[in-house]
Amino acid sequence: MINPSKLTAIECAELIQKKEVSATEITKIFLERSKEVNSSINSLITISEDYALKQANKIDSNFEDFKNKPLLGVPISVKDVISTKNIKTTAGSKILSNYIPPYDAFVIKKLIDSGAIIISKSNCDEFAMGSSNETSYFGACRNPWDLETVPGGSSGGSAASVASSQNLISIGSDTGGSIRQPASLCGIVGMKPTYGSVSRAGLIAFGSSLDQIGPFAKNVQDCEKLFYSIAGHDPKDLTSSKNKLKNSKNLNNLNNLKIGICTDISDQGISEGVKKVFKNSANAMNKLGAEIDEISIDYIKESLPVYYLTAPSEASSNLNRYDGIKYGYSNQDGKTSWDTIDLTRSNFGDEVKRRILLGTFALSSGYYDEYYGKAQKIRGLIINSFNNAFKKFDLIISPTSPITAFKIDSQIDDPLLMYQNDICTMPANIAGIPAISIPCGLSNGLPVGLQIMGPNFSEGMIFSVAKLMESNMNLNLLEEVNI
Ligand code: GLN
């Protein structure tokens, strides 16, 4: 009998390949598990039962064509900001609550081609704006470690669904930390790839120069497998890179690696519990042979203000399209088309409205140079500082999140406090570089994540180091989850 919480994605694909279980049987097990668990966690907006069973049946009845696919029959949940043909894609918003895309995102085609089975669409903050999954129109999602706490955000449903074994892997989007922070709070692995290495075509846009799709999994190997399945050039995304990605290696030690502890984001505002667990991981890296030193990265502390000018400015322009005329929710109770636009757009949630107002202000004539323009100049300086740092260090580490999972409702009325949750993760989006979060220990019984950042297109090296850390520190914490 298969136990969903004991299975990994790689094992699942192997079992199906060896015909010890069929894709349909696996799909049914995880659909059942999703239905059972979702009622208490609220991590899924849609369970795509018919769609998933059809996909599984296709694999079982054309087994020879599929048998060598890397994600053969692996159940996956997809964040509800990624377009799925014929499956509702809501972005966690009332505005798109009935929207059914006419096409698949590039990554969805890649997933289907890799043999993965999309069994659900996961809950998220509205238009991916948030750090707690509480801004979703479909209600807050809960953290399987402690149902009174948040799973992080904005890809909270993706992380919580993996942590509670409703699916073995998930994909989310990360604009300022939305993959890594929920991965950290839910005790799983999540990666934001290099900007341009995974196509954004079909991703509902938030901050286009920062958005990046990336993988979630229970362990680093599964995460890596998923990453290489979705990465690759796509002519439909003009920022998609043609760079060839390097594979990871199986390392026995970290000799010859220089790793920098970024003091600017590893000290201030970090809880004592998180600091302690983080220090242990740095010591473990040192014991494995890495040379560890502290580094201060110029201007990195400006990442938060740069982000909160850049992301809302781009969002205010991206969200113009939701006017109640082209598609999505439409309120036509008024007399003119202007009334329709007003009445429709008043249905955005408070956080989304706040971002639109902030962004529209920052872009308005007379203020553009003062705000958006200045933010872009500082962004350039931050990119330069990282380039200089990577001349001296192979990788840079920090905690992923300054605190562990916090109580539902405890921060939602204090946006500035909420924004602080991403102080460690935003710099990688500003610079475009890849960064992973892996579980590295517990503080007061809740998971803490270690962030490893590397230069552009160094995913292979990041996975190599993360795999060694995982096996040496016995980092699979999910055994502790009881749901
Ligand atoms: N929490 C950040 C925000 O609210 C980041 C969100 C994200 O990465 N999508 O903007």
Any atom of ligand 1 within 6 Å of the Cβ of 172: no
Amino acid at 314: E
- Model pTM score: 0.97
Place of tokens 């059809």: 54
Distance CA 181, CA 179 (A): 6
Any atom of ligand 1 within 6 Å of the Cβ of 126: no
Tokens linked to 323: 């006017």
Instruction: Return the H-helix or E-strand segment holding 302.
Output: none
Instruction: Return the H-helix or E-strand segment holding 156.
Output: helix 156-163
Domains of the chain: 1-483 (3.90.1300.10)
Amino acid at 390: F
Distance CA 352, CA 125 (A): 10
- How close is the Cα of 176 to the center of ligand 1, in Å? 5
Q: 251: exposed, middle or buried (C-beta count within 10 Å: 0-12, 13-18, 19+)?
A: middle
Any atom of ligand 1 within 6 Å of the Cβ of 130: yes
**pLDDT at residue 476, as a whole number:** 63
**pLDDT at residue 368, as a whole number:** 86
- How close is the Cα of 256 to the center of ligand 1, in Å? 35
**pLDDT at residue 361, as a whole number:** 94
Place of tokens 């692995």: 189
Closest residue by Cα to residue 338 from 348, 349, 346: 346
- How close is the Cα of 49 to the center of ligand 1, in Å? 30
**pLDDT at residue 278, as a whole number:** 96
**pLDDT at residue 478, as a whole number:** 73
Q: Say which of 83, 155, 178, 266 is annotated catalytic.
A: 178
The verdict on whether 154 is a catalytic residue reads yes
Q: Say which of 34, 69, 79, 225 is annotated catalytic.
A: 79
The verdict on whether 199 is a catalytic residue reads no
Give the pairing type, strands 117-122 and 44-47: antiparallel
C-alpha angle 74-224-275 in degrees, rounded to nearest 5: 115
C-alpha angle 43-48-51 in degrees, rounded to nearest 5: 155
Distance CA 386, CA 264 (A): 13
Any atom of ligand 1 within 6 Å of the Cβ of 80: no
Pocket test for ligand 1, best of 122, 175, 184, 417 (most atoms within 8 A of CB): 175
**pLDDT at residue 121, as a whole number:** 98
C-alpha angle 10-16-20 in degrees, rounded to nearest 5: 120
157, 122 contact by CB (below 8 A) = yes
DSSP state of 116: -
**pLDDT at residue 481, as a whole number:** 77
Tokens linked to 203: 């991703």
In 289-373, which ranges are continuous DSSP H helix? 303-318, 337-345, 350-363
Q: Which residues pair with 398 in a beta bridge?
A: 451
Tokens linked to 20: 């010890």
Any atom of ligand 1 within 6 Å of the Cβ of 176: yes
Instruction: Return the H-helix or E-strand segment holding 184.
Output: helix 180-186
Closest residue by Cα to residue 457 from 302, 252, 267, 228: 228
- How close is the Cα of 178 to the center of ligand 1, in Å? 5
Distance CA 145, CA 142 (A): 9
Q: Which residues of 454-466 are buried (b: 16+ CB within 10 A; e: fewer)?
A: bbbbbbbbbbbbb
Instruction: Return the H-helix or E-strand segment holding 180.
Output: helix 180-186
Handedness of CA 84, 86, 88, 89 (dihedral sign): positive
What is the residue-level pLDDT of the chain in tens, covering all 483 positions?
889 999 999 999 999 999 999 999 999 999 999 999 999 999 999 999 999 999 999 999 999 999 999 999 999 999 999 999 999 999 999 999 999 999 999 999 999 999 999 999 999 999 999 999 999 999 999 999 999 999 999 999 999 999 999 999 999 999 999 999 999 999 999 999 999 999 999 999 999 999 999 999 999 999 999 999 999 999 999 999 999 898 999 999 999 999 999 999 988 799 999 999 999 999 999 999 999 999 999 999 999 999 999 999 999 999 999 999 988 999 999 999 999 999 999 999 999 999 999 999 999 988 888 999 999 999 999 999 999 999 999 999 999 999 999 999 999 999 999 999 999 999 999 999 999 999 999 999 999 999 999 999 999 999 999 999 999 876 666 776 777
Q: Say which of 34, 120, 122, 154 is annotated catalytic.
A: 154
Give the pairing type, strands 395-399 and 291-295: unpaired
**DSSP per residue over 69-111, as a string?**
-TTTT-EEEEETTB-BTTB---TTSSTTTT---SS--HHHHHH
**DSSP per residue over 433-480, as a string?**
--EEEEEEEEETTEEEEEEEE-STT-HHHHHHHHHHHHHHHT--GGGG
Any atom of ligand 1 within 6 Å of the Cβ of 423: no
Amino acid at 1: M
